[in-house]
Copies of this chain bind each other. A is one copy, B any other.
Amino acid sequence: MQIDPYVLYERVRLQKPVVHHLTNWVTIFDCAQIVKTLGGSPVMAHAPEEVADMAQIASALVLNIGTLTLDFVSSMKKAASAANKKGIPVVLDVCGAGATGLRDTVCAELLRDVRIDIIKGNVSEIARVAGEKVKTKGVDAADVSSDLSCCAASLARKHKATVVVTGAIDHITDGKRVFRVSNGHIMMTHVVGTGCMASSVIATFAAVEKDLAVAAASALCIYEIAAECAARAAKGPADFKEKLFDHLFCLDQRTVKRLQKVSCVA
């Protein structure tokens, strides 16, 4: 199965989907800006009194547990329930899973109480959510010895979700198919929020494409091609981040076709 990420990039520009976020306070601006840079319309709102209303104008929802508190989790559930009812995709970024008991509990609760359509994390986070024992060092990824691919696939089947494991090579699976995206650049690991922004990009693409594995693979491919372009002339992480936004804003079909490295396994 071949995918054409640029088609979805163009569809986002055309449809300008509203992407609702309940995210962390560290990268909240960048998550909003990355959606707007793609041509979408970001909304960040977490008051329990309005999160369900926001679902009514949104086409996708992002939940990110990066700076969670208990009242925030309660708002997440309300927002996700409304999104579930409306049938719009919910992306859960399991940011920092494994770092504390609270994060593990909250991930488990969210996966139990609401429907999560896309579960996204790095290797150690996804391993943790899948039940493998691994200690997260901060929010940065660690290597795990287990068979990552198996682990992600069984998590996907268990929750009837698409599982996205980011890394040098991203793995995206819905439990049947596996997509691998080899785009990206090491400079991304020097910028806070590249993981959170990835979730926002995935949600934006999921807002315009029902095949969520295709949406997620396309999203990461486009985002990481912009990163490759940005890294070429970047003088450091801050210059790189600026260029990442600006290349994402200006991507053309030829660049995407030339650089895209997405493969699909059955």
List residues of A whose CB falls within 8 A of some B CB: 16, 18, 24-30, 32-33, 36-37, 41-47, 49-50, 53-54, 57, 66-70, 96, 99-103, 135-140, 190-193, 235-239, 241-250
Which residues from chain B contact A136 at a C-beta distance below 8 Å?
Answer: 57
Closest 5 CB pairs of A and B: A236-B246, A41-B138, A238-B245, A53-B100, A50-B100
28 A–B pairs (Cβ distance < 8 Å), ordered by A: A16-B137, A24-B44, A26-B29, A26-B44, A27-B29, A33-B238, A41-B139, A42-B192, A43-B96, A43-B139, A45-B100, A47-B67, A47-B68, A49-B102, A50-B99, A50-B102, A53-B99, A53-B102, A54-B100, A57-B135, A57-B137, A235-B243, A236-B248, A236-B250, A238-B244, A238-B246, A239-B246, A242-B242
CB distance from A22 to the nearest CB of B (A): 10
Docked pose: A147 CA to B99 CA in angstroms? 45
A37: contacting residue among B24, B30, B193, B237, CB under 8 A: B237
